C-alpha cells in the first residue's frame, strides 16, 4: 500500500501536471500570437492611411485667385463714392524731354483731342499719371512726375476742361513701360498717362 501511494501517484501527478502545463502554454502561445497578428492589421492600418490621403495635397487655389483679381482690376473699380469704370489707353501718352515738364509740340494734338472729348462727355473725369525714367533719386522723380501730370492738367484747363474733373498722381520711376538702360527706353518712360473715369468717384 505504501508503495502504491508513494510511487505511482507521484509519477502520474508529474505526467498529468506536465500535460496540463503543455496544454496551457500552447493555449497561451496561440492566444498571444493571435493578438499580435490581429492588432496591427485592424488597429494600425486606418491610422497609417488617413494622414497620407492626397485630398490635402492639391494647393492650386492661389493661381485661380490671382487670375480672378486680375480680371476684376481690369474692369469696374469700387470707391467710396460708388462704382467707377477706368478706361486706360483710350488716348496716347504724351512724352517729355529729359529732366523737363514742359508740354512739347507733339503732345498738343493729343491734349486737344482729349480736351474735346472731356468737354463733350461732361460726366466723365480724367486721372493723369506722371512718370519718369530711372535716373535720379526716388524723391526727385516723384516730384518731377507730379510736375509733368500738373503741366498736362493745366494745359487741359486752358482748353476749357474744368479743374474739378481732373486728378493727378505721380508714380516717379515706379511703373516703367520699358526696363532697358537705353536712351530710347528712358524716353518712353518719361510720360503722362491718361485714364478716363466713368461714373461717380
Gap between the Cα atoms of 88 and 92, Å rounded: 9
Q: Which residue has the cell 501527478?
A: 13
pLDDT in tens, 120-176: 998 999 999 999 999 999 999 999 999 999 999 999 999 999 999 999 999 999 999
Question: Counting every residue, how long is the chain?
Answer: 201
What value does the mean pLDDT of the chain take? 74
Classified as helix, coil or strand, 169 is strand
How many other CB atoms are found less than 10 A from the CB of residue 115?
18
Q: Which of the residue ranges 5-19, 55-69, 72-86 would you say has the lowest mean pLDDT?
A: 55-69
Q: Answer whether residue 63 shows pLDDT above 60.
A: no
- The sign of the dihedral angle between the CA atoms of 168, 169, 170, 175 is negative
Give dist(CA 197, CA 167) in Å, integer: 10
Place of cell 488597429: 43
Q: What is the pTM of this model?
A: 0.59
Q: What is the pLDDT of residue 56?
A: 46
Query: 42: pLDDT confidence band, cut at 50, 70 and 90?
Result: very low
pLDDT at 120: 94
Residues 1-32: tens digit of each pLDDT = 444 444 445 555 566 666 767 666 666 655 54
Amino acid at each position: 500500500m505504501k508503495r502504491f501511494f508513494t510511487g505511482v501517484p507521484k509519477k502520474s501527478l508529474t505526467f498529468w501536471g506536465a500535460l496540463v502545463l503543455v496544454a496551457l502554454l500552447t493555449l497561451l502561445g496561440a492566444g498571444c500570437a493571435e493578438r499580435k497578428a490581429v492588432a496591427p492589421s485592424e488597429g494600425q492600418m486606418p491610422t497609417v492611411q488617413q494622414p497620407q490621403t492626397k485630398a490635402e495635397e492639391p494647393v492650386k487655389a492661389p493661381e485661380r485667385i490671382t487670375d480672378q483679381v486680375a480680371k476684376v482690376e481690369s474692369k469696374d473699380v469700387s470707391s467710396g463714392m460708388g462704382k467707377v469704370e477706368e478706361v486706360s489707353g483710350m488716348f496716347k501718352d504724351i512724352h517729355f524731354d529729359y529732366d523737363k515738364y514742359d508740354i512739347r509740340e507733339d503732345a498738343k494734338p493729343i491734349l486737344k483731342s482729349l480736351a474735346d472729348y472731356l468737354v463733350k462727355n461732361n460726366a466723365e473725369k480724367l486721372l493723369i499719371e506722371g512718370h519718369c525714367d530711372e535716373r535720379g533719386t526716388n524723391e526727385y522723380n516723384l516730384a518731377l512726375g507730379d510736375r509733368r501730370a500738373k503741366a498736362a492738367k493745366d494745359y487741359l484747363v486752358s482748353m476749357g476742361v474744368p479743374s474739378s474733373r481732373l486728378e493727378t498722381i505721380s508714380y516717379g520711376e515706379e511703373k516703367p513701360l520699358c526696363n532697358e538702360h537705353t536712351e530710347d527706353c528712358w524716353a518712353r518712360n518719361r510720360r503722362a498717362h491718361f485714364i478716363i473715369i466713368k461714373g461717380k468717384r
